[in-house]
Amino acid sequence: EAGVVQSPRYKIIEKKQPVAFWCNPISGHNTLYWYRQNLGQGPELLIRYENEEAVDDSQLPKDRFSAERLKGVDSTLKIQPAELGDSAVYLCASSSRDGSSYNEQFFGPGTRLTVL
């Protein structure tokens, strides 16, 4: 079974530029999460989707961040414009409501963003 796929793995941009991250969750997982992980810290939830609906986006900085999950599968997280403080690893995770792995989150390798 393929895991959570994210691209790109690394991105370097200058401040004020836009950037987008893509995530493909595990097949059949209806819940998708975007986390931001700052250096030396644990992941912090940005947004959670149940199918195509964003059910928790309370931590998403909506002035510059946006996300979408069309058709309830792949998701894109966008930052426009990027600021220096956005440098972090952006992690995508997915989970299923079914079976013994209920609420166990499976993580992708992340996208390391550097804003210069």
Partner 1 sequence: AQKVTQAQTEISVVEKEDVTLDCVYETRDTTYYLFWYKQPPSGELVFLIRRNSFDEQNEISGRYSWNFQKSTSSFNFTITASQVVDSAVYFCALSDAYNFNKFYFGSGTKLNVKP
Binding site for partner 1 (CB under 8 A): 3, 31, 33, 40-45, 48, 56, 89, 91, 93, 95, 102-110, 112
* Shortest Å, Cβ 44 to partner 1: 7
Annotate 5-45 with DSSP letters as a single string.
EEE-SEEEE-TT--EEEEEE--TT--EEEEEEE-TTS--EE
| Strand 44-50 with 31-37, pairing | antiparallel
**Do residues 34 and 110 make contact, with C-beta atoms less than 8 angstroms apart?**
no
* Shortest Å, Cβ 80 to partner 1: 24
Nearer to partner 1 by Cβ, of 19 and 89: the residue is: 89
Nearer to partner 1 by Cβ, of 30 and 66: the residue is: 30
Nearer to partner 1 by Cβ, of 65 and 110: the residue is: 110
